[in-house]
């Protein structure tokens, strides 16, 4: 970025309040972003990141009910003087979920949709489509159907669709939050390409800083509608106390710098270099890293389980054998389409057993689990909420399953207390935040006192604070209870490392790796499984040449320093 | 899922829009059950010729089956014209309380027949409409509406509905599974449990659809979609000779049926009669 670069966008005294909202979602925003900059915007959920991004292309205030004060300029021109179509052509906005923003059946039509809306001549549309597809690495998928692409490929097509408008400024609202590791890698690779080839200004809102921070020129931290910090490359470490204060995710190298008191020279590579040369004793994992293995009798036992959907060429599951023991959390991992959800559905008794055996709670020969013993939290917890109040929602399961009054009362009270739902008792579930709705959905399951909880990627899109609280609640529920277990389907290696006891990785319907989470996810033996995104702490451990994988940065440091 | 790669996918979207219009015209104008049945069968054949997937086929027959069933049952009960023949007494007038309140409820043979005829109209238009939706990319549909000078916001709404219908169906399935896992039973007396289950899953599915609708609208607006503005198209619309010939034939047939019906109604109402049109009157009464 040159020093003479002009402002791509400037907010001056911007305040915005949604209609009927009790307070401003944006408060006195004064910010300028130079052309060609790559800006990472972070902050806790509800801090105003998405609202700020919507002002970039005029969705706020033009398409949203609310009141905006202050002034926004785009490439030196007041945004309110720019016609909507032109504004959208100059500044593109990419949303979280690729499935909700792809409107056409095929990739080429999808990418052409924007310039067609601008009424551009055919030749120009064709060249824009060509360039956007090439830049995002989607040219080979030009004639593919959007519905058949993976999550990462879909998000790349969505990115190409925004680029084809000719946008000089790209705003991306958590574009990787719904993607697996492979998807995240694809989209980041495309963003790097876009940045270097087209010199487009990028503003990206994200909770997970680890992968994106190295690409950023600036880190902006928001909280409650205000900008709390603005940090330039080379000074990111200064953001650490603020990120910690707000409960935001911090990359492990930052944690290590803070823990060791190393200088603020940031970057994972630099930190690892320093650690390697420092006089630190390596005790190779004699830390609190390892959890006990489940020694209880299995609550679920699967032998040679296979399942094929009608019309499918290959089985969704092929000769799977595994166990879920009492008192443990089993992380179920693998690429999208590897069979994780099919296995969860079979555990839940929602699919008919075709081949192999599945024992629920030591009972052989049953075709479904005993009623009320399995709880299933689906990927979108909103689809589980059906009552007028949180209290009714939580009590529904116990009522439908006709639990005896004493057991129902105790289970409901436990669910409400564990998930801190007492204060929300009379609220409508749909009026709550995403994190609260997730807690209500989990509370509604715990309140009928199931033995095994099946969770299908429940933390996707949550910020670190919410994710950790949710997983801690789960651990509290299961830890030390031999009659309870959790099966957690996730793409989040950090979550699996931090909270799971065992890990099962599926690859095209088969078991690719299985065993204690710390061992499987350390990649010892056959290398790191390609299905999972290497966690930042695991990556640092590998850079340091450690033969074990720490669950957290603190565990890593403890392991390095030793505690003789 | 939209499948624009089959033979029907290559047809000009204006041809499909016009065919939906002509089918609608025929379905409204025709009264003769045999003729309506022929048009409905043609519509279903169109839908089958669009090479639907297994899930689409299931959707097609579920929608058509429910339409026919709902119209026949409702007309059987609420048919008001005379004469009418009672084939089943659902609530006798002498039944305590409810009998006197309703005056008795019966199912009528003529009502079933009337419902069946009405449902054929729906089957014809729904089948052709679904076939078009399944085989046309939304952007091509928008282009055809622009070319036909029709408000393309209508096409956008229809295309978005077709695009997200499978997602909504999947969400309904997940919502139902979630409730079943919490102990909801579907079987029960008089289908009341099924009714209760439908209400239970309606709320989350509706909430999810509203949220998605907002995202879809914002995503479209972010990509410069404006229903008030003219669009251009990457792929030019091109109608082949065969399409033109079919369109001309269908258009002439629809126009002929409509005109014949008008003349017949004028004659039947005693407004206008011309002896040279006697053959047309007879044909209209017997066939149309």
Q: What is the mean pLDDT of residues A186-200?
A: 84
The whole-angstrom distance between residue B90's C-alpha and the CA centroid of its chain comes to 29
Name which of B137, B139, B181 is nearest A376 (Cβ-Cβ). Answer: B181
With 70 as the cut, is the pLDDT of residue A266 above it?
no
Q: What percent of chain A has pLDDT over 90?
A: 31
Smallest CA–CA distance from A453 into chain B, residue? B181
In this structure, of A102-106, A316-320, A437-441, A555-559, the range with the lowest mean pLDDT score is A555-559
Show the tokens assigned to A155: 């998000």
Strand partners, A330: A487, A502
In this structure, of A189-198, A268-277, B165-174, B229-238, the range with the lowest mean pLDDT score is A268-277
In this structure, of A48-57, A125-134, B230-239, the range with the lowest mean pLDDT score is B230-239
Q: Report residue A284's pLDDT band, with 50, 70 and 90 as the boundaries.
A: very low
Q: What is the mean pLDDT of residues A368-378?
A: 88
> Residue A288 has what pLDDT?
46
**Chain B closest-CA separation from residue A196 CA (Å):** 23
Asked if residue B68 lies in contact with residue B117, where contact means CB atoms within 8 angstroms, the answer is no
Strand partners, A145: A106
Which chain B residues contact residue A376 at CB under 8 A?
A: 177-178, 181
Asked if residue A268 lies in contact with residue A543, where contact means CB atoms within 8 angstroms, the answer is yes
**The pTM is what?**
0.76
Counting other chains too, the contacts that A234-240 makes at CB distance below 8 Å and 24 or more residues apart are A234/A266, A235/A264, A236/A266, A237/A264, A237/A265, A237/A266, A238/A264
Name which of B137, B142, B174 is nearest A383 (Cβ-Cβ). Answer: B174
- Residue among A294, A190, A176, A272 at smallest CA distance from A533: A176
Q: What is the mean pLDDT of residues B70-80?
A: 87
Smallest CA–CA distance from B9 into chain A, residue? A105
pLDDT tens digits along A438-479? 889 989 998 888 999 999 888 777 777 778 888 888 888 888
Which chain B residues contact residue A371 at CB under 8 A?
A: 183
| 3-class DSSP assignment, residue A15 | strand
Name which of A104, A397, A401 is nearest B138 (Cβ-Cβ). Answer: A104
Q: Report residue A278's pLDDT band, with 50, 70 and 90 as the boundaries.
A: low
Which chain B residues contact residue A117 at CB under 8 A?
A: 223-226, 229, 231
Tokens 């994780």 belong to which residue?
A340
Whether B139 sits inside 8 A of A383 (CB atoms) is no
Q: What is the mean pLDDT of residues B198-215?
A: 85
Strand order of the β-sheet with A502-507 is A374-377, A452-456, A485-489, A329-333, A502-507, A510-516
> Residue A207 has what pLDDT?
86
With 60 as the cut, is the pLDDT of residue B234 above it?
yes
Which stretches of B2-53 are DSSP H helices?
Answer: 13-29, 33-49
Query: How many C-beta atoms lie closer than 10 Å to residue B237's C-beta?
Result: 15
CA triple B52-B57-B60, angle to 5 deg: 110
Exposure of A95 in the CB half-sphere (CA atoms within 13 A) = 19
pLDDT tens digits along A486-522? 999 988 888 888 889 999 999 889 998 888 887 887 7
| B63 to A229, B27, B76, B136: CA distances (angstroms) | 56, 18, 20, 20
In angstroms, the CA A490 to CA A481 distance is 22
Give residues with Cβ within 8 angstroms of B134, minimum separation 6. B1, B2, B3, B47, B50, B52, B56, B162
Smallest CA–CA distance from B2 into chain A, residue? A105
Q: Which residue has the higher pLDDT, B124 or B157?
A: B124
In angstroms, the CA A151 to CA A183 distance is 6
Whether A103 sits inside 8 A of B138 (CB atoms) is yes
In angstroms, the CA B58 to CA A86 distance is 43
- Residue among A273, A174, A252 at smallest CA distance from A498: A252
Tokens 């109040």 belong to which residue?
A389
With 60 as the cut, is the pLDDT of residue A281 above it?
no
In angstroms, the CA A476 to CA A471 distance is 9
User: What burial class does residue B24 get, using C-beta atoms within 10 Å of its C-beta: 0-12 exposed, 13-18 middle, 19+ buried?
Assistant: middle
Q: What is the pLDDT of chain A when averaged over all its residues?
A: 84
In angstroms, the CA A61 to CA A79 distance is 11
Whether A119 sits inside 8 A of B2 (CB atoms) is no
Show the tokens assigned to A140: 């080979």
Which chain B residues contact residue A115 at CB under 8 A?
A: 232, 234
Which chain A residues contact residue B167 at CB under 8 A?
A: 99
Complex-level ipTM = 0.78
**Chain A closest-CA separation from residue B284 CA (Å):** 43
Whether B137 sits inside 8 A of A88 (CB atoms) is no
Q: What is the mean pLDDT of residues A125-150?
A: 87
Whether B171 sits inside 8 A of A380 (CB atoms) is yes
> Residue A561 has what pLDDT?
56
Name which of B159, B181, B184 is nearest A374 (Cβ-Cβ). Answer: B181
Whether B183 sits inside 8 A of A125 (CB atoms) is no
Name which of A92, A97, A117 is nearest B226 (Cβ-Cβ). Answer: A117
Q: What is the mean pLDDT of residues B17-38?
A: 90
**Chain A closest-CA separation from residue B24 CA (Å):** 26
Whether B207 sits inside 8 A of A371 (CB atoms) is no
With 60 as the cut, is the pLDDT of residue A287 above it?
no
In angstroms, the CA A337 to CA A506 distance is 9
Which chain A residues contact residue B181 at CB under 8 A?
A: 348, 350, 374-376
With 70 as the cut, is the pLDDT of residue B102 above it?
yes
Q: What is the mean pLDDT of residues A223-242?
A: 92
With 70 as the cut, is the pLDDT of residue A264 above it?
no
Q: What is the mean pLDDT of residues B42-53?
A: 87
pLDDT tens digits along B250-275? 999 999 999 999 999 999 888 888 88
Question: What's the helix, strand, coil split of chain A in %, to 5?
Answer: 40, 20, 40
Name which of A118, A121, A378 is nearest B178 (Cβ-Cβ). Answer: A378
Give residues with Cβ within 8 angstroms of B244, minimum separation 6. none
> Residue A108 has what pLDDT?
92
Which chain B residues contact residue A382 at CB under 8 A?
A: 204, 207-208, 211
- Residue among A333, A327, A300 at smallest CA distance from A504: A333
Structural domains of chain A, ranges and CATH numbers in brackets: 7-244 (3.40.50.300), 251-280+535-564 (no CATH), 298-534 (3.40.50.300)
Whether B167 sits inside 8 A of A99 (CB atoms) is yes
What are the domain boundaries of chain B?
8-151+227-287, 152-226
With 60 as the cut, is the pLDDT of residue A134 above it?
yes
Count of pairs with CB atoms under 8 A, one residue in A, one in B: 172
Whether B221 sits inside 8 A of A397 (CB atoms) is no
| B60 to B24, B46, B63, B123, B219: CA distances (angstroms) | 18, 12, 5, 10, 29
Where b means 16+ CB within 10 Å and e means fewer, A330-354 reads: bbbbbbeebbbbbbbbbbbbbbebe
Q: What percent of chain A has pLDDT over 70?
A: 91
Whether A122 sits inside 8 A of B163 (CB atoms) is no
Whether B1 sits inside 8 A of A350 (CB atoms) is no
Phi, psi of A339 (to 5 degrees): 115, 5
Give residues with Cβ within 8 angstroms of A224, minimum separation 6. A27, A47, A48
With 50 as the cut, is the pLDDT of residue A362 above it?
yes
Which chain B residues contact residue A56 at CB under 8 A?
A: none
Whether A119 sits inside 8 A of B212 (CB atoms) is no
| A58 to A53, A96, A173, B35: CA distances (angstroms) | 9, 18, 15, 54
In angstroms, the CA A472 to CA B164 distance is 36
Name which of A125, A384, A448 is nearest B183 (Cβ-Cβ). Answer: A448
| Terminal-residue alpha carbon distance, chain A | 50
With 60 as the cut, is the pLDDT of residue A563 above it?
no
pLDDT tens digits along B130-139? 888 888 877 7
In angstroms, the CA B9 to CA B81 distance is 44
Which chain B residues contact residue A430 at CB under 8 A?
A: 207
Q: Dihedral of the CA atoms A401, A469, A338, A483 (nearest 10)?
A: -40
User: What burial class does residue A564 get, using C-beta atoms within 10 Å of its C-beta: 0-12 exposed, 13-18 middle, 19+ buried?
Assistant: exposed
Name which of A112, A121, A382 is nearest B204 (Cβ-Cβ). Answer: A382
């Amino acid at each position: 970025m040159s020093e003479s670069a002009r402002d791509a966008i400037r907010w001056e005294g911007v305040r915005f309040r949604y209609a009927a909202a009790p307070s401003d979602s944006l408060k006195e925003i004064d910010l300028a972003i130079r052309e060609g900059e790559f800006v990472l915007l972070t902050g806790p959920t509800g801090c105003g990141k998405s609202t700020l991004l919507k002002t970039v292309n005029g969705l706020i205030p033009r398409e949203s009910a609310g009141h905006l004060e202050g002034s926004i300029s785009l490439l030196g021109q007041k945004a309110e003087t720019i016609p909507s179509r032109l504004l959208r052509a100059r500044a593109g906005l990419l949303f979280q979920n690729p499935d909700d923003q792809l409107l056409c059946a095929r990739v080429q039509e999808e990418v052409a949709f924007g310039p067609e809306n601008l009424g551009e001549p055919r030749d120009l549309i064709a060249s824009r489509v060509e360039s956007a597809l090439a830049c995002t690495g989607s040219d080979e998928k030009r004639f593919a159907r959007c519905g058949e692409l993976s999550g990462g490929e879909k998000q790349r097509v969505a990115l190409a669709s925004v680029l084809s408008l000719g946008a000089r400024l790209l705003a991306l609202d958590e574009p990787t939050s719904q993607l697996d590791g492979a998807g995240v890698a694809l989209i980041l690779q495309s963003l790097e390409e876009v940045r270097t080839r087209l010199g487009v200004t990028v503003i990206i809102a994200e909770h997970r800083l680890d992968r994106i921070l190295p690409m950023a020129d600036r880190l902006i931290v928001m909280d409650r509608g205000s900008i709390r910090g603005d940090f330039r490359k080379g000074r990111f470490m200064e953001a650490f106390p603020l990120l910690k204060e707000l409960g935001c995710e911090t990359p492990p190298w930052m944690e290590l710098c803070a823990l060791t008191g190393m200088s603020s020279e940031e970057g994972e590579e630099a930190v690892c270099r320093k650690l390697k040369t420092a006089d630190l004793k390596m005790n190779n994992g004699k830390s609190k890293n390892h959890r006990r293995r489940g020694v209880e009798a299995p609550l679920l036992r699967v032998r040679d389980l296979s399942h094929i959907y009608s019309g499918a060429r290959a089985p969704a599951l092929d000769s799977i054998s595994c166990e879920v023991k009492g008192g443990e959390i089993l992380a179920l991992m693998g690429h999208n389409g590897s069979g994780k959800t099919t296995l969860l559905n079979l555990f839940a008794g929602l699919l008919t057993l075709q081949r192999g055996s599945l024992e629920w709670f030591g009972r052989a020969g049953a075709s479904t689990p005993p009623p009320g013993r399995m709880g299933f939290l689906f990927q979108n917890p909103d689809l589980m909420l059906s009552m007028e109040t949180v209290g009714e929602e939580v009590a529904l399961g116990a009522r439908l399953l006709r639990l005896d009054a004493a057991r129902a009362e105790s289970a409901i009270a436990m669910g409400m207390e564990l998930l801190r739902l007492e204060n929300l008792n009379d609220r409508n579930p749909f009026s709550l935040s995403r994190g609260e709705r997730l807690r209500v959905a989990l509370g509604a399951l715990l309140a009928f006192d199931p033995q095994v909880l099946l969770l299908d990627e429940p933390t996707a899109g949550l910020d670190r604070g919410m994710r950790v609280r949710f997983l801690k609640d789960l651990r509290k529920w299961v830890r030390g209870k031999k009659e309870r277990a959790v099966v957690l389907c996730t793409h989040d290696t950090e979550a699996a490392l931090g909270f799971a006891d065992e890990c099962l990785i599926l690859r095209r319907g088969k078991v690719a790796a299985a065993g204690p989470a710390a061992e499987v996810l350390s990649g010892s033996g056959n290398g790191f499984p390609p299905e999972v995104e290497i966690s930042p702490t695991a990556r640092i451990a590998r850079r340091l040449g450690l033969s074990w994988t720490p669950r957290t940065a603190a565990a890593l440091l403890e392991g390095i320093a030793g505690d003789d | 899922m939209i499948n624009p790669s089959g033979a029907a996918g290559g047809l000009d979207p204006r041809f499909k829009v016009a065919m939906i219009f002509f089918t609608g015209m025929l379905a409204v104008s025709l009264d003769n059950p045999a003729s309506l049945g022929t048009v409905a069968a043609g519509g279903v054949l169109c839908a089958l010729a669009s090479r639907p997937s297994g899930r689409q086929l299931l959707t097609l027959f579920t929608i058509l089956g429910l339409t026919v069933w709902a119209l026949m049952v409702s007309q059987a009960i609420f048919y008001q014209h005379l004469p009418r023949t009672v084939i089943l007494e659902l609530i006798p007038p002498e039944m305590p309380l409810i009998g006197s309140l309703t005056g008795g409820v019966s199912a009528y043979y003529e009502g079933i027949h009337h419902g069946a005829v009405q449902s054929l109209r729906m089957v014809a238009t729904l089948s052709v409409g679904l076939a078009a939706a399944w085989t046309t990319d939304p952007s091509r549909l928008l282009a055809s509406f622009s070319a036909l000078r029709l408000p393309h916001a209508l096409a956008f709404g229809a295309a978005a509905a077709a695009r997200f219908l499978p997602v909504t169906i999947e969400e309904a399935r997940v919502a139902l599974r979630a409730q079943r896992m919490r102990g909801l039973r579907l079987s029960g007396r008089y289908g009341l449990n099924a009714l209760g289950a439908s209400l239970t899953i309606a709320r989350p599915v509706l909430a999810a659809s509203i949220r998605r609708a907002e995202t879809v609208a914002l995503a479209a607006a972010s990509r410069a979609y404006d229903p008030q503005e003219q669009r251009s198209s990457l792929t030019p619309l091109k109608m082949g000779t065969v399409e033109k010939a079919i369109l001309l034939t269908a258009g002439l047939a629809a126009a002929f049926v409509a005109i014949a019906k008008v003349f017949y109604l004028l004659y039947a109402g005693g407004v206008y009669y011309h002896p040279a049109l006697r053959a047309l009157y007879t044909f209209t009464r017997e066939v149309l």
